[in-house]
Amino acid sequence: MQRRTLIKVTVLLLLAGAVAAIWFSPLRAYLTREHIRAFVEHLRGLWYGPLAFIAVFALGCVLALPASVFVVEPKKQGSPGMTQTPDGKLVKIARQQFVRLGQTRGDFVAITKGVQVGQELVSAGAFKLRNNAPIVVDNSVKPDAKLDPHPENR
């Protein structure tokens, strides 16, 4: 396990070094949308083009870009803003928490690391949230999760 982590860190440092070397060099002028699009089109025409795309995809899978969820928590006392709603309930916030995902089955995803058992998570509307945003919990609307989903083709 430690060797795999070391490999991930090494690859990440190499990528960060490459990005920094390009960013702070004259090559930065070529990092426009048009230049990148032209390079990808050129790469598609080469015999090793598909291998390059597979290598980039595999590298992204190995690095496992971090996933996150929003954990529902009561607002901390002393933080700015309201601490109670007009009807006397405590204000809740959505705190972004990075997690490690496990197996998926249909609409269900296992979270292997990052949250505790029993923590309340945001399951709908998370794309509109920011870290520490005040929220209203409405459990009357529940997403329809299935093991074998068949979404409509619109």
The tens digit of pLDDT for each residue in 16-40 reads 777 776 677 666 676 777 877 887 7
Spatial CA neighbour of 63 closest among 141, 139, 121, 11: 11
| Selected residue with higher pLDDT from 44 and 129 | 129
Residue 1 DSSP one-character state: -
**Predicted pLDDT at 62:** 57
**Predicted pLDDT at 71:** 92
In what helix (H) or strand (E) does residue 101 lie, and over which residues does it extend? strand 92-105
**Predicted pLDDT at 149:** 77
Residue for token pair 């933080």: 79
Residue-wise pLDDT tens digits, 115-138: 999 999 888 877 788 888 888 888
Mean pLDDT of 93-97: 90
Beta carbons of 95 and 131 less than 8 angstroms apart: yes
| Selected residue with higher pLDDT from 33 and 58 | 33
Please say if the pLDDT value at position 65 is more than 70.
Answer: no
Mean pLDDT of 56-76: 75
Please say if the pLDDT value at position 74 is more than 80.
Answer: yes
pTM of the model: 0.54
Q: What percentage of the chain reaches a pLDDT higher than 70?
A: 87
Beta carbons of 72 and 135 less than 8 angstroms apart: yes
Separation between Cα atoms, residue 67 and residue 78, nearest integer Å: 30
